[in-house]
Structure 1
Amino acid sequence: MSGHRRRFDEVLDWFSPRRRYAPLDATAWLRNVNPSGDGYGTSDEEVLGFDDDLPHGAASTTVPISDFTVQSKCKYSDFSTIDWPLELARDRQRRKNFRAQKVSGCLPWLKFFFDSGSAWFCVFAVGIWTGVTSAVVDIGEGWMSDLKFGLCQRNFWLNREHCCWAIPSHNCTDWQTWPQIFGADHSMVGHFAVDFGFYVTFAVSMAVFAAVLVVFIAPYAAGSGIAEIKCILSGFVIRRYLGVRTYAVKMFGIILSSASGLSLGKEGPAVHLASCIGNITSRWFPKYANNEAKKREILSASTAAALSVAFGAPIGGVMFSLEEASYYFTFKTLWRSFFCALIAGLAVRGVNPWGNSLPTLYHVEHTIRWVVPELIPFVVIGILAGLLGSAFIKLNMALCAWRKSSSISKHPIAEVAFITFVTTILAYSNPFTKMSSSLLIRQMFNNCGKDSTPEFCYGYPLESGNVFYYILGALVLKFIFTTVTAGIKVPAGLFVPNIAVGALLGRLVALSTQWLVNNVISVDSYKGYCKMGENCVTPGLYAIVGAAAVLSGVMRMTVTLVIIMFELTGSIEFVVPTMIGIMFAKWVGDATHPVGIYEAQIDLCGYPFLDNRDDETVEASVGDLLAVKPNRELIVLEQAAISVGRLVTLLRDTSFCVFPVVTSQEEMIVVGFIDRVHLERQLAAQVVPDQNATVVFGSNAISAGPGCLHWEKLVDMAPICVNVHMKIEIVVEMFRKLGLRQVLVTNNGHLLGVITKKDLLKFVRHN
């Protein structure tokens, strides 16, 4: 608790009528908000219905732009929204004061150099730290994932790939499976019992341990975190969401959960990890530690570094930050994001967690070029991917809503254990779901040739083998696993599972297309495209298109996915087919479900997020919004005089974040408004034992007497006001473009009410 808040608590205690009988918990009213929520200056979560797991409490703070507030630092309370105009004004004032100082001597020049280059120093440190973190996660996940199957006898810290690095896998004796270690490989029943037992035991244990870390140490480490990061980058404040504890639990938790075999990925949590790193690193630089708007520039660069190290796609990471994550993305943020992604990519390549010399994560070498008739199956893949994406969003949101309202939310660890147990049992029966998602994607992306594993290639799939049905079963299981897993209390991403689902879908379409070419379509109609006796379809290409299309159907990204898939595979030849699949998936997805998965999660949690890509067409005015607000008294402060006791009562009994200042209760002519935090600070700094002492918020203090307190410096004399007849669409754009937290509603200069960001969001969503 800050010093001014403790001092203000003493003021509340002094004026409390219960002081002689029992100690007053002066912070109780600060921790609890009015549950009815009238939308007038109350905390953001009150109206928008936050998740019950999130802590309720501190009233939001809106800091007016005045000489006093520009010079002072404001610490925003939990679940509030930053004041973008104020933060930018603070930064301009800081730079103005810095330039006004006389630079002479070595130390001032060093300070000037450090301040000027702090952005580059900060993103450089973020890039290095993010790259090392990603390498640790990759190495740990690879080793623990293979631990379910066996152990390297020579060097137990090596996974299977590195244990048999220079030896063909079928001749490698250093890697021992659990049946071999326990001497049960001679009996079929014994082999199955030991292999299955260790597989399930390790999987459930890893997942449960990850859930224990999340539930008891850092609840914010659960899930992907991208939806919350989007809100934070738009100006929302969630305390402890980007802290050291969350970072540590997220890092170890994602190693455990991804290695357990659950249908989740570590690429989404990488964004949360990088944002934690950006937030922690920014504390070392006063330029960003003391300014929330500038800090979000570092967070935008951090999200770019996350995708750079997660997929080995630095340009895709920058595009992800621009297209999906960031709310305000300036030109200098673009350069810093590019630099941060570059440094992170170099760092992770220096560590080389994959232990190979391949330039990309899923490097493919396809020699067969795609032909024009294949545009039809590419379109089919896009349509199916769009339908799958919308189905996933609807089912997962319905499941998450049920999970929140049911008793299962009280037993998150048991839920994780049960889902992991069922997942491992069902996944064990299918060779495609038994392997890790990364290995599955790599196999699906590979083309069939003389060196390919037979069970992953078709040959004549529908006539002589069961690979088609295995892939179909794996697709159904993977889709169900991903739908159920997203939302449980472990670190979990959505990128890799949906890439795997899309790769399986594309492979199925490739098998079907090849069968049609061989058995249905006449050879004459395909002359010039395909020679007799040769396979006319490149299944790896179809898997790549399917992976990108399903991601587009789920997340509704376009350009970013094309670049990521190109950087993932290194195949520039397949950019056009990928673009076709992505566009059709997005069109179908938008037609069947209006928003992507992250926007749906934001709506479900009720975060105050105004999507700058939406085009609201609400036919209403500001007066219509005021008419539907709860009929409660408008609390204002008169500029002439008000007693200290009255101020203390208002602050104790209300949770409003701002108080409009008017000439009088009768005239209601707007003078400005005062932030509640500045009132608390001023009361804490000037303790007056007499609660009848008078406070003046204007220059006219004739009626106040000679002993009054002049606090007019706290008043923002230039508030943003809108007319009661203004269209809601214009107000929405004002909140988006200016980063506002509230506006005053007037008519001919007379105050009628206050509209906050959550008031506007509630009205737009309901209309």
Structure 2
Amino acid sequence: MDEEDEIRPRFSLPASSMYGSIDGLPASDRPGSSRDHTVSPANPNIAAPMLFSRESFRDASFDGGSLSMQTSRAPSRQGSRGQFSRLRMRKASRDTSAGFAGDYVIHDFINEKTRSHVLEHEQQRMARGPIAEYLYTAKIYFVLVSMGIGAGLVAASLDLSVEWLSDIKFGYCSDGWYLTREMCCRLDEEGQRCGFREWSTALSFLPLIGSATSFLAFLAYALLALAFGVTAAYLVKRFAPHAAGSGVPEIKTVLSGVVIRGYLSSWAFIIKVIGLAFSVASGLNLGKEGPFVHLVSVLANMVATSFDDFRDNFNLMMEFVCVGTAAGVSVAFNAPIGGVLFAFEEAASYFPNRVLWRSFFASALAELTLTLMNPFFNGKAVMFEVNHSLEWFWFEMIPFFFTGALGGILGSIFIHYNVKWSKLRIHDPFLRRSPIIEVAGIVLVTVMLQYPIPFLRLTNTEILATLFSECNESGTLGEGGESLMCDSTRIDKLFFVLFYAVGAKLLLTILTFGARLPAGLFIPSMTIGACAGRIIGTITKMVAAAHPDWAIFSQCRSASVCVRPSIYALVGASSTLAGVTQVSVSLVVIMFELTGGLSHLLPTMFGILAAKMVCTLSGLEGIYDMHINIKRYPFLDSKHHVSHEVPARVIMRPPRVVIPEMGATLGHLQQLLHDYQYYGFPIVRREHDMILTGNIVRKELKAGIEKALRDPRVSYETMVSFKGEFDITDKDYIQRISANNEILLNFAGFRDRYLSQVSPETPLSDVYDCFSALGLRMCFVTRHGELLGLISKKDAIAYCDATGDIPRKFFR
């Protein structure tokens, strides 16, 4: 017996045919005989599906609304790589709700769009009048307004919380324990003193020598950082595992039509807000910007599901989540336009035109709310203000390009080793069972590597603000008086600090991202790149100062300053983030809005282009796509190209259960839902020809049965038809079909309106495009209308995993 026969399901019906035989089958192969029904009239190599007919149902026992129909399945061998891949995908799932057998649920965008339109039409038909239509539109804008205002409030609250928790590691404000360092120092109008007392000063009353006081200050810093990190990890492990990570890979998966149970819950929102404040304040190399995508998407889902009109409208709910993604990026970077472009370029697989306007509206409102809240009390509309008067020269395009290429190299190194570490985290039993201990270890390593360097004790946001600033006439950076970046006599120390910062932060970010606590990587990646860019800028400045007579520097002879290292820091930050995420167009706009540096747009673009070229040559996907694959989400990226041209018949599965257009009863269908947990069921014209005429998903069949049973004329013996073109909202779905007043239920309106059919010889690349570009979840393999098999989205993923057609090295 070959492998295909071993994994083939076999069915036996404990019913004898009232017509004596089934077309094309000998008596020994009739349902109810001693032999299993394993021969298909269409193809002898494919197991025949379960056919539901009047005779089989009438011989089945029915007791109190429950049918009993015997089925038997042959044990399957799991030795093949394709079968093993599917099992691994299901093992990694967390969806254990009834009806889905622990597997992720994938929606069909095309048919869900049709159902959404039907649902909206039905609601408007029930309400009637223009007032109801205006009310429906008002509800949509209420969700958008609530989302925008809520996003701004959450962002402002998190900014203040993170700043206070970060400052408490160094000391406290004597004028009020609840004040941050900046707010505490602003209380003194004359600027003669600052009420913020560091722990070394606060502990000076103890009879200790200076070194002991400094050690106690370090101990307080380390213990508070450890407490913050452990608290974040504990909250995630104990209350909401879905609150871990940045959330961008999961949101991309959700927007492709996959349901991740509990990911958009209110509990995940609460834990992520609290855990994010603690994890960022711990000093770990992570950011709060990526998790805003998850937070605002959850906020959008919570507000939208409070309306009955939206709760069952899958496509509209996905549009709200997409709008939440844009608004989340908007408040994270003060970049409303960049947020909309990010949702379009990176996150959403489905982005209709109306989502563009709604995303822009919500993002602008979120940014307005955050600006009015003014959490940093500086009144600035940008996070890192860059001097617009800083000029650059055309010869610098060469070092700008090399800075971008270096950012791509750093991004590729990060992706490569972070994937390896994430793989070890999954497979190592100790790390898998002890996420809190892992986080505690990472916190301690972070403290030991960063605390000895005063520059690295700053938060990543403060480091970026320093690197993006240019030296003034006094030889310092802005108002803080930091002179290391501008002191030419200490250039060796500057290079040591910057090189050390690149290496230490790259290592720590590799270890941190993917740990089970709320964590983003936007700002850490930018910090690594900004340090590297500042190094190249400083070297270029030194060369220009040492050789002003070189022809390449001829443009500098009329300028007071030839090279501005801060511009290189900006290019390095942009290119490294592009190398890590492999986002391009939206990132240029985000950096422009983030810094306000319109004059530096061209260098930023060239740096990002160079980073993208390097990443393309490395053959690595973006970090978010990598983590989607690591977590085994059923996601297919439309950017991928499948080169292995196997025909569809190689990867298709035989139809195990089908429903005839005529002949099934209501009780028969009820038993079908009870016995089989499939998402949908093909509809065929007759048992003997297997001509495909439609498909009905589980929830629609269940809705039709529930609607029919509310009618007193209907019983479980009532016949059901799937023929015709009946409106789902039509009340006249009951027909009388015989002289003895027998009634017939017409369920045609509950079928899918769109069927994707491919021939057995269709190459896998075309099937892949159907899933990734059209948002399908199932393709039907037919020949002249005859149903031969099915290919689900998960089948395509499992085959690509097994053959390595789309490389997923961490699976092996």
Match of 1:555 among 578, 581, 594: 581
**After the TM superposition, which residues 514-533 of structure 1 pair with which residues of structure 2 at under 5 Å, given as runs?**
514-519=541-546, 521=547, 523-531=549-557
Offset of residue 307 of structure 1:
1.6
Query: Could you tell me which residue of structure 2 aligns to residue 201 of structure 1?
Result: 223
Query: Could you tell me which residue of structure 2 aligns to residue 722 of structure 1?
Result: 758
Offset of residue 226 of structure 1:
0.4
Task: Indicate whether 1:742 and 2:778 are aligned.
Answer: yes
Supply the AA of the counterpart residue of 1:416: V
CA change 1:508–1:330 in 2 (3 A) is same
Offset of residue 12 of structure 1:
9.8
- What SS class does the counterpart of residue 514 from structure 1 fall into? helix
Query: Could you tell me which residue of structure 1 aligns to residue 45 of structure 2?
Result: none
CA contact 1:265–1:492 (8 Å) conserved in 2: yes
Task: Indicate whether 1:762 and 2:803 are aligned.
Answer: no
Offset of residue 707 of structure 1:
7.9
Query: Could you tell me which residue of structure 1 aligns to residue 787 of structure 2?
Result: 751
CA change 1:634–1:346 in 2 (3 A) is same
Query: Could you tell me which residue of structure 2 aligns to residue 278 of structure 1?
Result: 300
Inter-partner Cα distance in structure 2 for 1:340 and 1:686:
43
Match of 2:626 among 594, 600, 606: 600
CA change 1:605–1:597 in 2 (3 A) is same
Q: How many residues align?
A: 715
Task: Indicate whether 1:495 and 2:522 are aligned.
Answer: yes
- What SS class does the counterpart of residue 258 from structure 2 fall into? coil
Query: Could you tell me which residue of structure 1 aligns to residue 659 of structure 2?
Result: 637
Match of 1:457 among 464, 472, 485: 485
- What SS class does the counterpart of residue 751 from structure 1 fall into? strand
Supply the AA of the counterpart residue of 2:608: I
CA contact 2:384–2:468 (8 Å) conserved in 1: yes
Offset of residue 570 of structure 1:
1.1
CA contact 2:721–2:747 (8 Å) conserved in 1: yes
Supply the AA of the counterpart residue of 1:206: F
Inter-partner Cα distance in structure 1 for 2:191 and 2:565:
26
Q: After superposition, what is the alpha-carbon deviation per residue over 1:222-263, rounded to whole angstroms, capped at 9, x for unaligned?
A: 000001101111211112211111111111111100000000
Supply the AA of the counterpart residue of 2:409: L
Supply the AA of the counterpart residue of 1:612: S
Q: After superposition, what is the alpha-carbon deviation per residue over 1:658-686, rounded to whole angstroms, capped at 9, x for unaligned?
A: 22233454432223333334555667775
Offset of residue 298 of structure 1:
1.6
Q: After superposition, what is the alpha-carbon deviation per residue over 1:634-658, rounded to whole angstroms, capped at 9, x for unaligned?
A: 3333445468887677655544322
Comparing 447-456 and 563-572, the one that deviates more = 447-456
Match of 2:185 among 141, 164, 167: 164
**After the TM superposition, which residues 285-364 of structure 1 pair with which residues of structure 2 at under 5 Å, given as runs?**
285-364=307-386
Inter-partner Cα distance in structure 2 for 1:633 and 1:89:
25
Task: Indicate whether 1:508 and 2:532 are aligned.
Answer: no
**After the TM superposition, which residues 383-532 of structure 1 pair with which residues of structure 2 at under 5 Å, given as runs?**
383-407=405-429, 408-449=431-472, 450=474, 451-452=476-477, 453-460=481-488, 465-519=492-546, 521=547, 523-531=549-557
CA change 1:307–1:45 in 2 (3 A) is farther
**5+ long unaligned stretches in structure 1:** 1-9, 19-32, 62-76
Q: After superposition, what is the alpha-carbon deviation per residue over 1:356-396, rounded to whole angstroms, capped at 9, x for unaligned?
A: 12231111225441112211111111111111111111111
CA contact 1:226–1:269 (8 Å) conserved in 2: yes
CA change 1:503–1:223 in 2 (3 A) is same
Supply the AA of the counterpart residue of 1:759: D
Query: Could you tell me which residue of structure 1 aligns to residue 118 of structure 2?
Result: 93
CA change 1:624–1:706 in 2 (3 A) is farther
CA contact 2:293–2:328 (8 Å) conserved in 1: yes
CA contact 1:545–1:577 (8 Å) conserved in 2: yes
- What SS class does the counterpart of residue 468 from structure 1 fall into? helix
CA contact 2:94–2:103 (8 Å) conserved in 1: no
Query: Could you tell me which residue of structure 1 aligns to residue 168 of structure 2?
Result: 147
Query: Could you tell me which residue of structure 1 aligns to residue 149 of structure 2?
Result: 128
Q: After superposition, what is the alpha-carbon deviation per residue over 1:98-130, rounded to whole angstroms, capped at 9, x for unaligned?
A: 665686xxxx65433221333322211110010
Comparing 215-224 and 186-195, the one that deviates more = 186-195
Offset of residue 282 of structure 1:
1.0
Match of 2:643 among 617, 623, 627: 617
Inter-partner Cα distance in structure 2 for 1:718 and 1:289:
23
CA change 1:488–1:609 in 2 (3 A) is same
- What SS class does the counterpart of residue 636 from structure 1 fall into? strand
CA contact 2:412–2:615 (8 Å) conserved in 1: yes
Task: Indicate whether 1:49 and 2:89 are aligned.
Answer: yes
Supply the AA of the counterpart residue of 1:180: T
Q: After superposition, what is the alpha-carbon deviation per residue over 1:275-295, rounded to whole angstroms, capped at 9, x for unaligned?
A: 011111112344432311011
CA contact 1:741–1:756 (8 Å) conserved in 2: yes
Match of 2:284 among 249, 262, 268: 262
Query: Could you tell me which residue of structure 1 aligns to residue 33 of structure 2?
Result: none
CA contact 2:290–2:519 (8 Å) conserved in 1: yes
**After the TM superposition, which residues 214-253 of structure 1 pair with which residues of structure 2 at under 5 Å, given as runs?**
214-253=236-275
**After the TM superposition, which residues 518-597 of structure 1 pair with which residues of structure 2 at under 5 Å, given as runs?**
518-519=545-546, 521=547, 523-531=549-557, 535-597=561-623
Supply the AA of the counterpart residue of 1:152: C
Supply the AA of the counterpart residue of 1:388: L
Supply the AA of the counterpart residue of 1:84: F
- What SS class does the counterpart of residue 637 from structure 1 fall into? strand
Task: Indicate whether 1:117 and 2:143 are aligned.
Answer: no
Offset of residue 706 of structure 1:
9.4
Supply the AA of the counterpart residue of 2:639: R
Inter-partner Cα distance in structure 1 for 2:627 and 2:63:
42
Offset of residue 743 of structure 1:
2.0
Inter-partner Cα distance in structure 1 for 2:328 and 2:356:
15
Offset of residue 152 of structure 1:
0.5
Supply the AA of the counterpart residue of 1:179: S
Offset of residue 750 of structure 1:
1.6
CA change 1:166–1:292 in 2 (3 A) is same
CA change 1:659–1:148 in 2 (3 A) is same
Inter-partner Cα distance in structure 2 for 1:15 and 1:101:
36
Q: After superposition, what is the alpha-carbon deviation per residue over 1:298-323, rounded to whole angstroms, capped at 9, x for unaligned?
A: 22221111122111111111111111
- What SS class does the counterpart of residue 528 from structure 1 fall into? helix
CA change 1:716–1:373 in 2 (3 A) is closer
CA contact 1:502–1:551 (8 Å) conserved in 2: yes
**5+ long unaligned stretches in structure 2:** 1-61, 725-735, 806-812
Identity %: 32
Supply the AA of the counterpart residue of 2:223: T
Inter-partner Cα distance in structure 2 for 1:699 and 1:339:
44
- What SS class does the counterpart of residue 671 from structure 1 fall into? strand
Superposition RMSD in Å: 3.6
Offset of residue 60 of structure 1:
4.8
CA change 1:85–1:737 in 2 (3 A) is same
- What SS class does the counterpart of residue 186 from structure 2 fall into? coil
Comparing 543-552 and 117-126, the one that deviates more = 117-126
CA contact 2:464–2:530 (8 Å) conserved in 1: yes
Inter-partner Cα distance in structure 2 for 1:150 and 1:100:
64
Inter-partner Cα distance in structure 2 for 1:298 and 1:247:
16
Query: Could you tell me which residue of structure 2 aligns to residue 72 of structure 1?
Result: none
CA contact 1:11–1:683 (8 Å) conserved in 2: no
Supply the AA of the counterpart residue of 2:584: T
Inter-partner Cα distance in structure 1 for 2:482 and 2:683:
77
Inter-partner Cα distance in structure 2 for 1:100 and 1:211:
50
Supply the AA of the counterpart residue of 1:734: C
